[in-house]
A = this chain, B = another copy of it.
Amino acid sequence: MQSLQEKASEWSGVETDHAFAIDDTNLFQKLGIQTFINLSTNFYNRVYDDEEEWFRSIFAKSDKEKAIQNQYEFLVQRMGGPSLYSQTRGHPALIARHRPFPVTHEAAKRWLCHMQQALDNTSDIDQDSKIMLINFFSHTAYFLVAGVEQKNQSLHPCKDAPGRHPCKNF
């Protein structure tokens, strides 16, 4: 599993200690639940309206409202708030839960592109928090690419090596 961390750092350009700088402060206390609800709403509004059908289709089977709730409940829990996610769904088990989806390098880049825009367009997120969050999201996205790739090795070989800035190529 160590190699997943290494891949996540290499592909995202974010070292593990930077990715988990979110744990040095309590972003839930700092930002409050409504900010996370707004962020996830903003994010999924973009995702479900994406002009790229290949990306939009990844989420097509999921209800948007449910996706928003899943995400903000996870984020609230992960960022130091109450365990809203685990109370109903248990362990995040991030790799296992993403396994049904084509979590490719391209998908991670586009996911991060939307998240960066959502962060930039959600009020009340200060610059420091924004950096901590995007570092966490970037590292996590590629951690999932590496994890899901490992599980589906023979099914989805992804050999391209994307750069750090997700929006550049879109």
- Contact partner, A91, options B86, B88, B140, B151, Cβ 8 Å: B140
Count of chain A residues with a beta carbon within 8 Å of a chain B beta carbon: 31
Complex interface: chain B residues within 8 A of A83 (CB) = 20, 23
A158 contacts chain B at the CB level, 8 A cutoff: no
A1-B96, A96-B95 are contacts. A90–B23 as well, Cβ < 8 Å?
no
Structural contact, B93 and A147, CB atoms closer than 8 A: yes
- Could you list 30 A-B pairs, sorted by A, with CB under 8 Å? A1-B93, A1-B97, A4-B90, A8-B90, A16-B88, A16-B89, A16-B90, A20-B83, A20-B86, A20-B87, A20-B90, A23-B83, A23-B86, A23-B87, A90-B139, A90-B143, A91-B95, A91-B140, A92-B92, A93-B93, A93-B94, A93-B143, A93-B147, A94-B96, A95-B95, A95-B96, A96-B96, A96-B150, A96-B151, A151-B151
